[in-house]
Amino acid sequence: MHTGQTVFSQLIEFLPKKQFDRFVRQYHGNHRAKTFSCFDQYLCMTFAQITYRQSLRDIETCLRAMQPKLYHCGIRGNMSRNTLAYANEHRNWKIYADFAQVLIAKARKLYANEDFGIQLNRDVYALDSTTIDLCLSLFPWAKFRKHKAAVKVHTLMDLKGSIPTFIRITDGKVHDLNILDELVLEPGAIYIMDRGYLDFARLYAFTQNFSSFVTRAKSNFDYRRICYRPVEKTTGLRCDQTIRLNGFYPSQDYPAALRRVGYFDIETKKKFIFLTNNFTLPALMIAKLYKCRWQIEIFFKWIKQYLRIKTFLGTTENAVKTQIWIAISVYVLVAIVKKELHLELSLGEILQILSITLFEKVPITQVLTENVLQDESFQFHNQLLLFNL
């Protein structure tokens, strides 16, 4: 029997501990902390995310049941629900946000050559947000509507590997358009957005920074056609035009030419009108790129299904942001493990397996592979046979 490290401790070895300690010192995270450090807090919250714990009492009960193994898993402090609740409310959430960015940078290098369905020698990003509903009486700071609270998780995702690269957590009232002002645009990159981000003044910044965007036009879109290019209608394309905006203010906001691509989806029987500032890619490629935007919707669905970001362990803004950022880091950590161990399992399957094997003392590669490591033809009898046939 393997008597070495637990699966949890092997999983933690994928974390760059020195980088975590650097952020703790930067934000004075362990100031006056005697027995429960920021890393203890991070490990307890990571345990809660992986094993689907529902409450602070639930976390406390399960960890105390594994008390003899906690030290070897890296949890050195005395864990109690009050201590964890205090840490979530008062320790700066930026520690875990910055640490998640370190993991994101590591994951992006691992998935740099990942195929997302389209062969392009440039970075392609999808931008969107998801809303998490909250109770207004418990989360009064997260203003959304008159009788409702919510937080928004604005995410820019690299389609290579579905790795989130930029995340902002705001209250529900913040419009998606405001996030465009915070993006650091990469020259040559392609940004895919839905029509909720259609603001011509902000989109013109993409053109000025030599970045491309692909979005959808609204139904009341006013324009004039400059020229058109022939299309193959059997592929679903309906038009490929060069246009300029009509109206005084729209033409001032976006004075350059735009490309308008019409596409009919045979599967859904819907017609789409795409707007882009990219005139070099084929028109069909523009339609295929926008279809890849669905990956960010799958990402939001995944983290809500497999991670704990809909039920929170604290009601303050700091506690909510801490929990969300740790959940994001767990997602990226699982993606790193999948790539470095060359696993064929999906991220969801890896997380489900880890949830029931965290404190087993077996090699993590054995747990996460589907190979049969024992000879099934060998039968072990733990008592003598009564009759010899």
Q: What is the pLDDT of residues 36-46, one digit of tens each?
A: 999 999 999 99
Q: Where in the chain does DSSP place strands (E)?
A: 124-134, 143-145, 148-158, 163-171, 190-192, 212-216, 223-228, 237-245, 258-265, 270-276
Listed residue (366, 363, 317, 321) closest to 343, CA to CA: 366
CB atoms within 10 A of CB 207: 17
Q: Is residue 29 part of a domain?
A: yes
> Above 80 in pLDDT, residue 382?
no
Residue 236: pLDDT band (50, 70, 90) is very high
Q: Is residue 359 part of a domain?
A: yes
Q: What is the pLDDT of residues 271-330, one digit of tens each?
A: 999 999 999 999 999 999 999 999 999 999 999 999 988 889 999 999 999 999 999 999
Report the pLDDT value the prediction gives residue 33, as an integer from 0 to 100: 84
Mean pLDDT across 208-227? 93
Q: Is residue 348 part of a domain?
A: yes
Q: Is residue 177 part of a domain?
A: no
- Look over the chain and give the mean of its residue pLDDT values, rounded to a whole number: 90
- Chain-centroid distance of CA 119 in Å reads 23
CB 74 within 8 A of CB 358: no
Residue 261: pLDDT band (50, 70, 90) is very high
CB 25 within 8 A of CB 38: no
Q: Which residue has the higher pLDDT, 77 or 188?
A: 188
Listed residue (263, 295, 294) closest to 276, CA to CA: 263
Q: Is residue 255 part of a domain?
A: no
Q: Where in 188-320 does DSSP place strands (E)?
A: 190-192, 212-216, 223-228, 237-245, 258-265, 270-276
| Torsions phi, psi for 264 (to 5 deg) | -110, 120
**Cα separation, 258 vs 198, whole angstroms:** 13
CB atoms within 10 A of CB 361: 16
Give the count of alpha carbons within 13 A of 388, CB side only.
1
Residue 385: pLDDT band (50, 70, 90) is very low
Give the count of alpha carbons within 13 A of 254, CB side only.
24
Mean pLDDT across 161-175? 93
CB 30 within 8 A of CB 37: yes
* Residue ranges making up the domain that contains 331: 7-95+317-367
Q: Where in 266-324 does DSSP place strands (E)?
A: 270-276
Is the sign of the CA dihedral 42, 46, 49, 53 positive or negative?
negative
Report the pLDDT value the prediction gives residue 71, as an integer from 0 to 100: 81
CB 59 within 8 A of CB 81: yes
Q: Is residue 109 part of a domain?
A: no
| Torsions phi, psi for 127 (to 5 deg) | -115, 130
CA dihedral 192, 195, 199, 203 (to 10 degrees): 20
* Least confident stretch, 217-231, 241-255, 320-334, 359-373: 359-373
Q: Is residue 219 part of a domain?
A: no
Report the pLDDT value the prediction gives residue 377, as an integer from 0 to 100: 41
* Least confident stretch, 20-24, 125-129, 141-145, 369-373: 369-373
Q: What is the pLDDT of residues 110-164, one digit of tens each?
A: 998 888 888 888 899 999 999 999 999 999 999 898 889 999 999 999 999 899 9
The pair of structure tokens assigned to 324 is 């969300």
**Cα separation, 312 vs 337, whole angstroms:** 26
Residue 244: pLDDT band (50, 70, 90) is very high
Q: What is the pLDDT of residues 345-354, one digit of tens each?
A: 999 999 999 9
Q: Which residue has the higher pLDDT, 3 or 266?
A: 266
Mean pLDDT across 244-270? 93
Residue 66: pLDDT band (50, 70, 90) is confident
The pair of structure tokens assigned to 54 is 């529902």
pTM of the model: 0.90
Q: Is residue 23 part of a domain?
A: yes
Mean pLDDT across 239-265? 94
Residue 166: pLDDT band (50, 70, 90) is very high
CA angle 172, 173, 176 (to 5 degrees): 85
Partnered with residue 206 across adjacent β-strands are: none
Report the pLDDT value the prediction gives residue 79, as an integer from 0 to 100: 82
Mean pLDDT across 37-63? 93
Number of domains in the chain: 1
